[in-house]
Structure 1
Amino acid sequence: MAYIPPTLAELGRVHFIGMGGAGMSAIARIMLGQGVAVSGSDARNSAGLEQLKGMGAAVFLGQAAGNVAGADTVVVSTAIRESNPELAAARAAGLRVLHRSQALASAMADDAVVAIAGTHGKTTTTSMATVMLRAAGVDASFAVGGTVQGLGVNAAHGTAPVFVAEADESDASFLNYRPQVAVVTNLEADHLDHYGTAEAVFAAFEDFVALLPADGTLVACLDDAGSAALAAHAAAAGTRCLGYGFADGADIRLVPGERDGLRTSASVVVRSGLLPGGEAQEVELRLGVPGDHNLRNAAAALAVAVVLGVDLSAAVAGLAQFSGAARRFEAKGEGRGVAVYDDYAHHPTEVTAALHAARTVAGSHKVHVLFQPHLFSRTAEFAAEFAQALDLADTVAVLDIYPAREDPVPGVTSELITSRLHKPTGYAPDTAAAVAQLAGGAVAGDIILTVGAGDVTELGPDLVAALQGHGHG
C-alpha cells in the first residue's frame, strides 16, 4: 500500500537529526523555502549548516535530548540509531518520527513528482534534469544527493508544480514517494546488506514502478539489462514506458558523436508520436561532461522533458549548460600538468564508467587511481569485479575499506581486491604514502582520480598539493 505522507501543516516544527548530511540538508532547505519552522543538529559545523542558519533554521552543534524541545516532528536517516539521545527523547515525548524520505514526501505536496532511481547515475541524472528544466523556464523544486554545479545548492523550492527528486533505493525508502514519472537509470544487485538477494532488489524496483498512477510514465534505460527487463515487465502490466539509450528501438535513441576530453556529443532521435506534430525529431546533444554514461543520463533527462511537454530544443540547450554534480568526475585542481578528479563511484559498474571517462579525458596519457572500497559487505560481494574495473587504470592504489554503517567482517579487507589486480601498486594502508606515490609517478598530461563513497574525497587537495610541491616534471 502506498505511503500517505502527512501535510506540511500537520508536521508543525520539524527537527532534523544530522541536518548537515546531503539528504537531510536538502529536505530542510526545501521546507524552509515552504515556510516550515526548522531546527536541526549535527556533530560539527559546515558551510551547509551555515546556509540553513541563514535561511532561518535553528542549528545545534552536538546532539542532546534538549535539542528536540519545541519540535512536533523529528526527521532521521537510516544512519541514526535508536540510542541517539535526540531520537530517544523524541520517542519518549511521543513526537512524530519520520524517515527523511517520508519528510521529503510531505514536502512534495501536490507537485508532479519526477523520481529518479537506479543503482548508478541518480545524482547526475537528477542534477541534469533540474538544470535542464530550469534553463527551459520550468522553475522546478528539486532535491539531489549532491551539490548541483552552477546552482550551488543540492535542493530548492521552486514556483512550478514540478518536483524532481533523487530516489534512494539503498534502504527501500524510495517506496515512500508518489511519482508521476519514475526514472530507472539501471538495475543491478547492490545494497545486499539490506536486501539479501538480487531478486529482492529487483522486486523493490517493481514495487517502485507500481507506485505510478494510471497516467504515469516509467522512463527506463534499454542499454541496461536490469532496467530493460523492468520496463518489459511494466509494459506488460499496462504501464506507459519510454525507453532511452543507444539500443535499437529506444524511444529516445542516442547515436554516438565526438569524444573530446571533457566534452561529449551525440545525436538524439525522438521517435514519432512523442512530440507535438507527431513526427520523429533529431537533435544534437552536446555535454560538458565526459563518458557514454553521461550521454545516457542526459537522454533520461530528455525523456523527462518529453513527458512533461518541455520544448525539446530548450531542453537540449539547457543540458549544454550542465557542468556537473559534486563528486561526479569533479575537478579538484592540478599541478605539473597533472589534473586531479574525484568520483563517488563505489560499485564496479560505476568504477568502470568513471575509468572509461578518465581514458577519454587523458587521451594517450596515463590514468592513476586512488580507490577506497565502501562497506565490507560490498567488498566481499564484488571483489573480483572491482579488480577487473580497476585494471582499466594504469596504476592503482587501494586504501583500507571505509566502513560507513558496518562493523568489520573477519577476513574481508582491501586485499580481496588487490590480490586480483594486474596493475602496479596495490594495497595502500598508508594514505600519505599512497598520495606521495601517485603524485610522484604522474607526469604532465596524466590524470589522477580519487574514487569511492567514503572520505577518499578529502585526498584530492592533498594530491594537488603534492603535485604542486613536487620538484620535477
Structure 2
Amino acid sequence: MQLSDVRRVYFIGIGGIGMSAVARYFRSRGFEVMGYDKTATTLTRTLEAEGMQIHYTARPELLPAPAADLLVVYTPAIPTDFAELQRARAGGHTLMKRSQVLGLISEAMQCVGIAGTHGKTTTTTITTYLMMTAGLDPSAFLGGIARDFDGNYVHGDSDWVVVEADEYDRSFLTLHPEIAVILSTDPDHLDIYGDHEKMIETGYRAYARQIKAGGQLIVRYDIADQFTDLDSVLVSTFGIGRGDFCAHNIRVVDGAFEFDLREPDGHLIQNLRTALPGRHNVENAVAACAVTRLAGGDEVHLREGLANFHGIARRFETVYRTDELVIIDDYAHHPTELDATIRAARELYPDRTIRGVFQPHLYSRTQDFAPGFARALDRLDEAIIIPIYPAREAPIAGVTSQLVYGMMKNEKRRLLTDVQMLEVTAQLTDGVLLLLGAGNIDALVQRIVAQHTKTVHHGE
C-alpha cells in the first residue's frame, strides 16, 4: 500500500505515546482517524477533542470493514491473541506495525533518527526544538509530551523529520536516516534480542548500516568502536570531555548548567546554557547540538534554543514544590536511568533527604536487571518499591518486586502496595520525593500531588 491511497486509519492501541503521534500526523493531514485503547486517559481524551473516534471496549465488530482506503495500524505491545488484531489479520485488512508506517512516512524525507537505550525522548525533543529555533522547520515524532510543543507530534513544513528510533521489536530497522544518533547501547529488551551481543549486532549495528549513503552517524565516544565498519557514512563522536562534539568547562550557574561546546574543526561555542537537570542531559544536549549544526543550524539560534527549551513531561518533571517538599516525576525504568535521575537530584538538592518510589516495568526487565535496580535504589536515603507493572507480559514465576527489594542493602527500604505507598507519601512534609517508573505510576503521581495540594489548601 502507498500512503497516498489511504484516507482512513484505524489504530489498535491508539493511546500509546508512539501510536498517538502517528495518529496526530494523519489527523493533521485531514485523514479520518479512529481506534481502540484499553483505558481512557488524558491523552486519549485529547485525541478525541482533536477529532479522533476512540472506543474503550474490546469489541472486534467495531473494527471497520476492509476497504481500499483503510489502513489498520497496531503496536507490538498489543497481545497477538487480541480479538481486533486477529480479526484484522483474518479479514483481509491492510495491516501495518506503527514502525512500518513511520518508515513509509520518513522514506522520502531527510530523516534524523535518534536511538539509544537511554535519553532518546529527551534528545529527540531537544533536537526538534533546536532545529525549529534555527529555522529548519522539521516535523517530529516524539516519545513524550514536550512542554514546548504541548504534544508528541510536531508538524513542520520542511523535508526534515526527527524520529525517536525505538530498538524495541527492532522497530528502528524501518528507518533510513540521513543523520542517525546512537546515545547508548546498554542491554535492554533482552526478551526480544536474546542477549546483549545480539542486541548490538542485530539491532544497533543493523540500524547504523541503514544510514543513507553520504549520511552521518553521531555516536557517543565510548561506544564508537562498535561502528567502525560503515561504508560511505561519516562518523562523528560526542561526549563530555571527549568526542568530536565535546562539552567542556561544565558548571552550574543560577540553577542551570553552562558549558562550552567544541566542534570537530576546533571551533568553540562558549557559554551554552540548559536548565535540564543532570550531566547526562548535558550529554544529550551535545548530541542535539551536533545534529542541528550538521543540518545547517547556526550558532546564535543554537544558543537561543538550548537556553529556552523547557523539557518533557515525566522526564525529571517537578510536579509539586514548596519550600520544604519537592516531588519529581521521572520515566526512569532501567538501572542506568534510575542512577542518573538519583544523581541529578543529589546535585540539585545536596542538602535534602532524597526519597524514591519505584514501580518496576515488565517481569522480564525486572528479572534481567534486578541487581542493577537494587544498586541504583541503594543510592536513595529512603526507598519504596511497589508492585511490577506488567504491561503486555504474563507473570514469570518467582519474579516480583520482592526480587529487587531482597537484593538491596539500604536499611531504609519498604515493599508496599500502591495503596500503602499513597498513605506513606501523603505524610511526607520535607525533602525530595522521586516517583520512578514507566508503567501507570503517572496516575499514582496525580493522586500523590492531589493529596499534598489538598493538605496545603486545607492548611491555608
Q: What's the TM-score once normalised by structure 1's chain length?
A: 0.90
* Match of residue 184 from structure 1: 182
Which residue is 1:455 aligned to? 440
Work out the CA distance in 1 between the residues paired with 2:127 and 2:238.
14
Q: Please say if 1:34 is aligned against 2:36.
A: no
Matches of 1:406 and 1:428, distance apart in 2: 22
Among candidates 223, 226, 230, match of residue 230 of structure 1: 226
Residue 239 (structure 2) pairs with residue 239 (structure 1): no
Check whether the contact 1:439–1:466 (CA below 8 A) recurs between aligned residues.
Answer: yes
Question: What residue is the counterpart of 1:281 in the other structure?
Answer: 268
Q: 2:335 aligns with which of 345, 348, 361?
A: 348
Superposed CA deviations along residues 179-199 of structure 1, whole A, max 9, x for unmatched, are 111111111111111111001
Would you say the 8 A contact 1:148–1:326 is kept in 2? Answer: yes
Which residue does the alignment assign to 2:207?
208
Alpha-carbon distance change, 51 to 458 in structure 1, aligned in 2, over 3 angstroms: closer
Contact 2:107 2:175 in 1 (8 A): no
Where does residue 3 of structure 1 map in the other structure? Answer: none
TM-superposed CA distance for 1:441, in Å, is 5.0
What displacement does 1:466 show? 4.2
| 1:405 alignment partner AA | R
- Give the aligned residue type for 1:456: I
SS of residue matched to 1:241? strand
Contact 2:14 2:20 in 1 (8 A): yes
Alignment of 1:1-400 (within 5 A): 6-70=1-65, 72-203=70-201, 204-222=203-221, 225=222, 227-234=223-230, 237-248=231-242, 250-259=243-252, 263-272=256-265, 280-335=267-322, 337-400=324-387
Counterpart CA distance in 2 for 1:69 and 1:431 is 38
What's the offset of the Cα at 1:148?
0.5
Identity %: 34
- Structural RMSD (CA): 2.1
- Supply the AA of the counterpart residue of 1:34: R
Q: What's the CA shift string for 1:235-268, capped at 9, x where partnerless? A: xx452111111143x1110114223585222111
Q: Distance in 1 between matches of 2:44 and 2:451?
A: 30
CA deviation profile, 1:40-75 (whole Å, cap 9, x unmatched):
222333343344344443333423233332552110
Deviates more, 1:28-37 or 1:141-150: 28-37
Q: Which runs of 5+ in 1 are unaligned?
A: 1-5, 273-278
Verify the 8 A CA contact 1:368 1:438 in the aligned structure 2. Answer: no
Residue pair 2:384, 2:416 contacting (<8 A) in 1 also: no
AA at the equivalent of 1:210: R
Q: What is the CA distance between 1:439 and its match in structure 2?
A: 4.9
- In the alignment, the residues of structure 2 paired with residue 59 and residue 283 of structure 1 have an alpha-carbon distance, to the nearest angstrom, of 49
Judged with a 3 Å threshold, the aligned counterparts in structure 2 of structure 1 residues 396 and 86 are, in CA distance, closer, same or farther, namely same
Aligned residues: 453
Counterpart residue type for residue 312 of structure 1: E
Inter-CA distance 23–109: structure 2 relative to 1 (3 Å threshold): same
Deviations 1:92-123 (A, max 9, x none): 32111100011112222411000111000001
Alpha-carbon offset, residue 462 of structure 1: 3.2
Paired AA for residue 114 in structure 2? I
TM-score, normalised via structure 2 length: 0.93
Cα distance in structure 2, aligned partners of 1:301 and 1:201: 24
